[in-house]
Amino acid sequence: MSKRRKKTNNIILSLIIFIILCVSGYFGTDYFLENSNSDNIAKEVSTNEVKITTSSSIENVDEVDLNNDKLNIIFFYVGQADCTLIKLNDDVILIDAGNNNDGKNVVSFLQEKGITQIDYLIGTHADEDHIGGIDDIINSMDIGTFLIPTIGENGTDYKNAVEMAKEKNIQIKHPTRGEIFYFENAQFEVMSAMEEENTSDNNSSLVIEFTYNNTTYLFMGDAETEVENSRSWNKVNVLKVGHHGSNSSSSTKFLEQVKPEYSIIEVGKNNSYNLPSDKAIRRLEESGTQVLRTDKANGEEVGSFWLTSDGNTIDIREVNINLDGNI
């Protein structure tokens, strides 16, 4: 091969390499950033932690005004039982409804506030102190969907609630872990819904994580350490403490993950179970959370807690609401 021809070939080869480098530089960098990293960049931005500001002290009020454009959550005092209302504009969730004698009081409160429809009625599990009052709710309210676990179906309160829901043609759903439900411009995810045959009623609890903009709320039902150890947990702003503050719940490992700013215990004053447990309270306080108890909502008096949020800030007030039907 002549030197001139060899030189020409080298020039052509160099041009080809130059063109390849230019093309790969254009498509290999810009194109890659546009099509591969855009999702990652968006995720990094969307998951940046937003600082939540909360009230430095808990104010006491006599009444709640639910006619606002904020998220409203009321952790009711229903004695030794659970009942929590979530309202955002016209959409409503009710989680549990106290004991059998509490249901009528819950209905009366809702009706006084102009609430006649519940989008999601959630019976966390079959124990009376959670679903005993649900038959009154079903009988008096328009219900969109009734969520309840499969465990405990032979219990009297469970049967009453389900049979009444069927009579009224209410959609009954047994959700599974990971299911997401959309609510106004918020959503909630089922974090636990154990269905194994040997699962206790407490550990069958539907555990709900509710998210509104940059705030997150976790409702544990009566879930115990078995549930807490069954998965990893997200950091939340507010925790509805599991099993009324029992020592069988709120483990150190769990609290290290959820890191709540507020932990609310729905518990009856001078209850026969001696709840909440001193050990559980100690673990909660050591985690850095502010513990609020319905049996001491007003110092030595019982009451409820009313939370409002615009999705970035949270305010909690004590409110003089007592829906305990056993007194």
Q: Would you state the pLDDT for residue 45?
A: 31
pLDDT in tens, 109-139: 999 999 999 999 999 999 999 999 999 999 9
Q: What is the mean pLDDT of residues 319-324?
A: 96
DSSP notation for 268-317 = -TT-TT-PSPHHHHHHHHHTTPEEEEGGGTBTTB--EEEEEE-SSEEEEE
* CB 85, CB 122: distance < 8 Å: no
**Selecting from 3.60.15.10, 3.40.50.720, 3.30.465.10, 3.40.50.300, what CATH number does the domain 53-319 have?**
3.60.15.10
Question: Given pLDDT bands bounded at 50, 70 and 90, which one contains residue 38?
Answer: very low
Cα–Cα dist 270/143, whole Å: 34
3-state class (DSSP) for residue 180: strand
To the nearest 10°, the Cα dihedral for 55, 57, 61, 63? 30
Compute the chain's Rg from CA coordinates. 26
Q: How confident is the model at residue 102 (pLDDT cuts 50, 70, 90)?
A: very high
Task: Please tell me the distance from the alpha carbon of residue 124 to that of residue 136, in angstroms, as a whole number.
Answer: 16
What is the pLDDT averaged over residues 8-21?
A: 50
The rounded Cα 288 to chain-centroid distance in angstroms is 20
pTM for the model:
0.84
- pLDDT at residue 179 in the model: 98
Split at pLDDT 50, 70, 90, the class of 54 is: low
What the block records as the tokens of 187 is 């959503």
- Over residues 247-255, the mean pLDDT reads 98
